[in-house]
Amino acid sequence: MEEKQSNANDPVSEWVTFYLAEEKYGINVMLVREVLKNTEIAPVPGSPRFVLGIINLRGNVVTVVDTRTRFGLPSKEEDDNSRIVVIEMGEHVLGMMVDSVAEVMTLRQSEIEFAPNVGNDDSAKYIQGVSNQENELVILVALDSLFTQDELLKGVSAH
Partner 1 sequence: MSDRRKYPDLVAQKDALSLYFDALLREEAQLEPEWAEPTVEIVPQLPVLAPPVLQTLQMPEPELATAVSQEDGPPAWADSNFQALLFKVGGLTLAVPLIELSGIQEWHGEQVTPMPGRISWYLGLMQYRGRSVPVIDTAELVLPTDRLQRLEAAATRLNRVVFIDDGRWGLACDEVAEVISLEPEQVRWRSNRTKRGWLAGTVIEQMCAIIDPPAFARMLATGMADDAEDETTDA
At its nearest, how many Å lie between partner 1 and the CB of residue 94? 17
Residues 116-145 that bind partner 1 (CB under 8 A): 116-124, 126-127, 130, 132, 137, 139
Cα 99–chain centre separation: 11
54/99 with CB nearer partner 1: 99
CA distance linking residue 154 with residue 107, whole number of Å: 34
104/137 with CB nearer partner 1: 137
Q: By CB under 8 A, name the one of 73, 89, 93, 158 that touches partner 1.
A: 73
Report the b/e string of 21-53 with b at 16+ CB within 10 A: eeebbbbbeebbeeebeebebeebeebeebbbb
23 binds partner 1, rule: CB under 8 A: yes
70/83 with CB nearer partner 1: 70
20/41 with CB nearer partner 1: 20
CA distance linking residue 151 with residue 112, whole number of Å: 28
How many residues comprise the chain?
A: 159
At its nearest, how many Å lie between partner 1 and the CB of residue 107? 14
Residue 19 near residue 67, CB atoms below 8 Å: no
Instruction: Enumerate binding residues for partner 1 (CB under 8 A).
Output: 20-21, 23, 71-73, 113, 115-124, 126-127, 130, 132, 137, 139
